[in-house]
Amino acid sequence: MAGFRVRAAQPGDCEGIMRLIKELAEYEKLSDQVKIGAEDLCRDGFKESSPFFRCLVAETVEGDQGDAGSMLVGYALSYYTYSTWKGRSLYLEDIYVMPEHRGKGIGSKLLAAVAETCLSLGCSHLQFSVLDWNQPAISFYLSRGACDLSQKEGWHLFRIFPDDLRRMTSNVTRPTSDPADS
C-alpha cells in the first residue's frame, strides 16, 4: 500500500510542481491566468541568492520501490511577508493535494509542516487567501483555528496591473534624494 511523505522541494521537482499549480488553477476556475513555467519556478525558488519562495512537496512512497515509484501529489508554497504591526510573517500562497489523494491526511500534514516552518522562522502569523465559494477549503482552515480577516475586519484585496502602473509613473519624476520637486 502506498504511503506518502512531506519534504522540502528540490529543483528537480519544478516540472511536477508546475503540473500541480495548473491543476489547482483549473479547480479555482482561473487557469487562463497561469503565465509562468517550470523554468521560472526553478530560477525564482532555487537559483536566486534570496529565493522568492519556499516550497514543500508531498509525494507517494510505494512500499519497497523507493523513489522509483514516487509521484508528487501535493505542494505548499509560501514566502515571507512583513507586517508593520507585527514584523516578519509567512504567507501561504498555495496548498494543494490532488483530488484522488485526498482523505489521507496529506493536506493536514502539509499545513502542519508549513506551521512548523512559520514558527521556526519566528514569524508572527500565517496568512493566506481563499475564494469565498471554496467551502471545503474554508472549513478545513477554520477547523485549524484560522480567522477570516475579511469577514472580521473588512479587508479587501486590490491589484494594479502594469498598464495602470505605467500610467501612474508617466507624470512624475523618479524618487530622488534631491528636493527637485519642492
Find the binding residues for its own copies in span 110-129 (CB under 8 A): 111-113, 115-119, 124-129
Q: How far, CA to CA in Å, does 173 sit from each of 32, 134, 167, 168, 179?
A: 35, 44, 13, 11, 11
Write down the least CB distance from residue 125 to its own copies, Å: 5
Residues 6+ apart with CB under 8 A from 45: 9, 14, 51, 52, 53, 54, 55
Asked if 96 is an active-site residue, the reply is no
- How far apart (Å, rounded) are the C-alpha atoms in residues 38 and 41? 5
Which residues within the stretch 149-178 sit at the binding site for its own copies (CB under 8 A)? 149-151, 153-169, 171-172, 174-178
Q: Does 88 bind its own copies (CB under 8 A)?
A: yes
Among 27, 46, 79, 98, indicate the residue that binds its own copies (CB under 8 A). 79
Which residues within the stretch 7-46 sit at the binding site for its own copies (CB under 8 A)? 7-8, 21, 24-25, 30, 33-36, 40-41, 44
- List 107's β-bridge partners, or say none: none
Among 61, 71, 72, 98, indicate the residue that binds its own copies (CB under 8 A). 61
Residues with a catalytic annotation lie at 141
